[in-house]
Every structure is written in C-alpha cells, then in structure tokens.
C-alpha cells in the first residue's frame, strides 16, 4: 500500500508570500491529486497530475514521477487561501490514498 507523506504539517505565512507544500509517495502511481478543504469540511479538487506541471490562477502543481514527489505552490498568498491542502495518489482503479494534510494559515 502506498504511503503518502506531506510536509509541512502546519504552515503559517504572511499575506503575499510564496508558499510551497510538498508530497512524497512510496509506490508508483497513475495520478496524483491535490485537494483543498476549508473550515467546515467541504473538499474540492484543485488538480490531477500524471506528469509535468499544471497552473490555475495563483496555484501551480508539479510532479516528478522518477522522484515520487509533487509540490503545490501558491503565489501571492492571501488570507482566503487558508485551508487544509491534501495530497492523494491513485495507484490504479478508482481508489485514492490520502496524505494527512497540510494546515495553511495566511495572515494579513
């Protein structure tokens, strides 16, 4: 079974800072997902990656398949980015294995 490790567990940043959240996994995968969870519970999908890099607004996700590592970057961070960011990997089929999440707080 895949082990998914995220770092850091907690992150506090000042508004405007560049933020990086890391995810590593132990076994080959077919895809990696980044998810966002706001206080109150709702989870939304940000990205699905199988190679390279994707960008959506101020969010950038990269993956290095050889190194079994992915990063989520937030440029020009804002207090509304405060949330839990979750990395999840899909080995095959429809099941995901989740990391424990990174709690991000952006202060104004």
Q: Given the rule CB under 8 A, which residues bind another protein?
A: 1, 4, 31, 33, 35, 40-45, 48, 86, 88, 90, 94-96, 98-101
> Smallest gap, in angstroms, from Cβ of residue 24 to another protein?
14
> Smallest gap, in angstroms, from Cβ of residue 6 to another protein?
8
Nearest to another protein of 47, 77 (CB atom): 47
Confirm if 14 and 90 have CB atoms less than 8 A apart. Answer: no
Nearest to another protein of 13, 101 (CB atom): 101
Backbone angles phi, psi at 79, to 5 degrees: -55, -30
> Smallest gap, in angstroms, from Cβ of residue 99 to another protein?
6
Nearest to another protein of 9, 75 (CB atom): 9
Confirm if 47 and 73 have CB atoms less than 8 A apart. Answer: no
> Smallest gap, in angstroms, from Cβ of residue 46 to another protein?
10
- The angle subtended at Cα 33 by Cα 28 and Cα 35, nearest 5°, is 150
Nearest CA-CA partner of 102 in 26, 23, 14: 23
The span from the CA of 26 to the CA of 13, in Å, is 29
């Amino acid at each position: 079974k895949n082990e998914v490790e995220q770092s850091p567990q907690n992150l506090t940043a000042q508004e405007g800072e560049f933020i990086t959240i890391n995810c590593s996994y132990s076994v080959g995968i077919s895809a990696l997902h980044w998810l966002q969870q706001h206080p109150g519970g709702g989870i939304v999908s940000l990205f699905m990656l199988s190679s390279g890099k994707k960008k959506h607004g101020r969010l950038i996700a990269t993956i290095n398949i050889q190194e079994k590592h992915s990063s989520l970057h937030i440029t020009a961070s804002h207090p509304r980015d405060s949330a839990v960011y979750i990395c999840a990997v899909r080995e095959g089929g429809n099941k995901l294995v989740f990391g424990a999440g990174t709690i991000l707080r952006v202060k104004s």
